[in-house]
Chains A and B, each alone.
Chain A
Amino acid sequence: MESSSSGLVQVRNVTLQYKTTDHLVTATYKVSCTVQHGDRYVILGPSGCGKSTLLKAIGGFIRPVGGSIVVNGHEIREPGPDRMMVFQEFEQLMPWKTVLQNVMFPMQVAKKYTRSEVRDRALSAIDKVSLSKFAKVYPHMLSGGMKMRVAIARAMALEPDVLLMDEPFAALDALTRRKMQEELLSLWDQLRFTMLFVTHSIEEAIVVGSRILILSPHPGRVRAELEAGALSYAEVDSPAFGVLSKRIHTLLFEDEPKHAPEPASAAAGSH
């Protein structure tokens, strides 16, 4: 489980706290994990386990109270375009820019590409998420699923080291969500980018993820890290899918163990 120096994203004993108006909340406690190049790394946990907070910390929006986060050899101190984030909310697109301008803008800010490159890259990214017809349209004319596609195109056009996705499909209806998951997987098949994907759906975690990190609630601590690369929608009805899903379910919802780090069920449920 511990691969000391290799790994694209290294999270080491990260403790995260944030302040509300009258509380100091500990979101995660000493979380460690390593994301390799090309991983579809899913962070799964019940609501309140700090999974989104952890993702925001990797994004650089929150400073860890303890521990460190290293991406591509650099310790994270602030947000940056090397870690593009896709949010759950639709209003992450800038309403005053067209689809094309929205995709181009972060590339213009990052000054990574020449002017003509920016346009070409944006057009090809829009084409990859099959929205070429809508390049000149403003976001308010798009459906929720299309806005999400634009957000993904915008993030990928910049070729970030890692794509951070914070429950990107949670606000979509079930049919669109499934379609988006399949599209995301086929995009990954073409481009083999690295992504960190936060979700609270076990099914989504197994379908989308190649590796699943399971966090416990209040505060979030690492419960398990499982391999799930072989399972997609084609295997939803297969026994292996059911076994893994049940195992994750047990890990998530069994009574919190007091000090046993290695639960008995993990061995019993393995395939």
Chain B
Amino acid sequence: MAINETALGEAARDLVKPRIHVSGPRPDLEFALLDASDIGDVQRRLSFPERLANNDAIRRAGILLFLVITWEIYARWLDNSLLFPTFTLTLKTFVGDLLDGTLVDRTRTSLYPLVLGYAGGILLAGLLTSIAISSRIGADILNTLTAMFNPLPAIAVLPLALIWFGLGTPSLVFVIIHSVLWAVALSTLTGFRSVPETLRLSGRNYGLRVAGYVAFVMIPAAFPAILSGLKIGWAFAWRTLIAAELVFGVSSRSGGLGWYVFEARSELDTPRVFAGLLTVIVIGLFVESVIFKSIETRTVQKWGMQR
């Protein structure tokens, strides 16, 4: 035992011993600068393919093209348009229904409660968050409500909405507001909370008070979080709407996109089901990559708040 301990002690001492030879002073060195002209321009424009690969839109279009080709090849190999129609067939149905106005009509019917519910949800979220940042009890209220209602699927509220508002647009608007409100409020509050202290102090230093302070300091400073909340809210609204239409189908005379899909399914018209889903996807892609994308490049990206 005792021998072991001394051995251990020696090993430890061994570790402390410097292993590196310390050299003496070394001579000072100065160099004439190398001629750097043979490397060409210090700043050079990237080649065309390199710049092409740096373009987001082109990369994403490439992904879409790949998906479409895979779809087409698989569907042709499967050769069962009842289960999985080809892309060309889907596109044909899509264009046909688009041209005879059916899809336009259905989309318009869907968009009306969607926009109404989305706007209502954002408005309410703004109101709730304003109360939440102005007082501690307000924040507690919002946090509790969000914790309660955010996990509650909008579809689960639909039966209640039908009892309260009946079959029709008001019920749809109600469930869409429910799905948008909590998501947007939560991320807006998070955004407000993460505004740097120095920026808040600067704003107050200028003499900004309540409304001006929120409008000119808090909202722009929290904009990345607010924008991502708006995106999530949009996706939630869209999903909720289609699902709600699938559940209770037609409202009075004209149904929306969900109803269009539902109807096609009951007629075993699979290409039309696909065309309906394609419409949902195309609108989603458009809003995401055109509307939100351009807001993003004009704001948070330009300001260097997001890459």
B198 touches A92 (CB 8 A): yes
Nearest Cβ on chain B to A169's Cβ, whole angstroms: 15
A110 touches B304 (CB 8 A): no
A138 touches B303 (CB 8 A): yes
> With an 8 A cutoff between CB atoms, is B159 at the interface?
no
Most A C-beta atoms less than 10 A away, residue of B202, B217, B220: B202
Nearest Cβ on chain B to A147's Cβ, whole angstroms: 11
Determine the chain A residues whose CB is within 8 A of the CB of B217 once the complex forms: 94
> With an 8 A cutoff between CB atoms, is B207 at the interface?
yes
Partner of B299, one of A79, A81, A96, A139: A96
> With an 8 A cutoff between CB atoms, is B101 at the interface?
no
> With an 8 A cutoff between CB atoms, is A66 at the interface?
no
A84 touches B205 (CB 8 A): yes
B304 touches A138 (CB 8 A): yes
A87 touches B202 (CB 8 A): yes
B207 touches A91 (CB 8 A): no
> With an 8 A cutoff between CB atoms, is B71 at the interface?
no
B304 touches A81 (CB 8 A): no
B196 touches A91 (CB 8 A): yes
Give chain B's interface residue range (CB within 8 Å of chain A): 20 to 34
A85 touches B207 (CB 8 A): no
Partner of A109, one of B212, B220, B221: B212
With both beta carbons as reference points, the residue of chain B lying nearest to A81 in the complex is identified as: B207
Nearest Cβ on chain A to B117's Cβ, whole angstroms: 29
Partner of A138, one of B198, B205, B302: B302
Binary interface profile of B, 38-49, with partner A (CB < 8 Å = 1, else 0)? 000000000000
Most B C-beta atoms less than 10 A away, residue of A81, A84, A96, A105: A96
> With an 8 A cutoff between CB atoms, is A174 at the interface?
no
The interface residues of chain B, by DSSP majority, are classed as: helix
Partner of A91, one of B198, B206, B216: B198
Nearest Cβ on chain B to A41's Cβ, whole angstroms: 19
Residues of A57-102 contacting chain B, CB below 8 A? 59, 61, 79-81, 83-85, 87-89, 91-92, 94-96
Known: A96-B299, A106-B206. A139 touches B198 (CB 8 A): no
Binary interface profile of B, 214-249, with partner A (CB < 8 Å = 1, else 0)? 001100110100000000000000000000000000
Nearest Cβ on chain B to A42's Cβ, whole angstroms: 21
Determine the chain B residues whose CB is within 8 A of the CB of A106 once the complex forms: 205-206
A238 to B201 Cα, complex, angstroms: 40
> With an 8 A cutoff between CB atoms, is B305 at the interface?
yes
> With an 8 A cutoff between CB atoms, is B108 at the interface?
no
With both beta carbons as reference points, the residue of chain A lying nearest to B224 in the complex is identified as: A95
Determine the chain A residues whose CB is within 8 A of the CB of B220 once the complex forms: 94, 96
A92 touches B202 (CB 8 A): yes
A141 touches B304 (CB 8 A): yes
A79 touches B207 (CB 8 A): yes
Determine the chain A residues whose CB is within 8 A of the CB of B305 once the complex forms: 95-96, 140
Nearest Cβ on chain B to A20's Cβ, whole angstroms: 14
Determine the chain B residues whose CB is within 8 A of the CB of A92 once the complex forms: 198-199, 201-202
With both beta carbons as reference points, the residue of chain B lying nearest to A105 in the complex is identified as: B206
Residues of B170-211 contacting chain A, CB below 8 A? 196, 198-199, 201-202, 204-208
With both beta carbons as reference points, the residue of chain A lying nearest to B209 in the complex is identified as: A78
A110 touches B206 (CB 8 A): yes
Most A C-beta atoms less than 10 A away, residue of B220, B299, B304: B304
Known: A95-B303, A106-B206, A141-B304. A89 touches B198 (CB 8 A): yes
With both beta carbons as reference points, the residue of chain A lying nearest to B212 in the complex is identified as: A109
Nearest Cβ on chain A to B59's Cβ, whole angstroms: 24
A81 to B207 Cα, complex, angstroms: 6
A87 touches B198 (CB 8 A): yes
User: Which B residues fall within an 8 A CB radius of A?
Assistant: 196, 198-199, 201-202, 204-208, 212, 216-217, 220-221, 223, 299, 302-305
20 pairs, A vs B, C-beta closer than 8 Å: A59-B201, A79-B205, A79-B207, A80-B205, A84-B205, A85-B205, A89-B196, A92-B198, A92-B199, A92-B202, A95-B304, A96-B299, A105-B206, A106-B205, A106-B206, A109-B206, A110-B206, A110-B207, A138-B303, A138-B304
Q: Which 4 A-B pairs have the closest CB atoms?
A: A140-B304, A89-B198, A106-B206, A95-B303
Q: A59-B201, A94-B217 are in contact. List 13 more A-B contacts (CB 8 A).
A: A79-B201, A79-B204, A79-B205, A81-B207, A87-B198, A89-B198, A92-B199, A96-B221, A96-B223, A109-B208, A139-B304, A140-B304, A141-B304
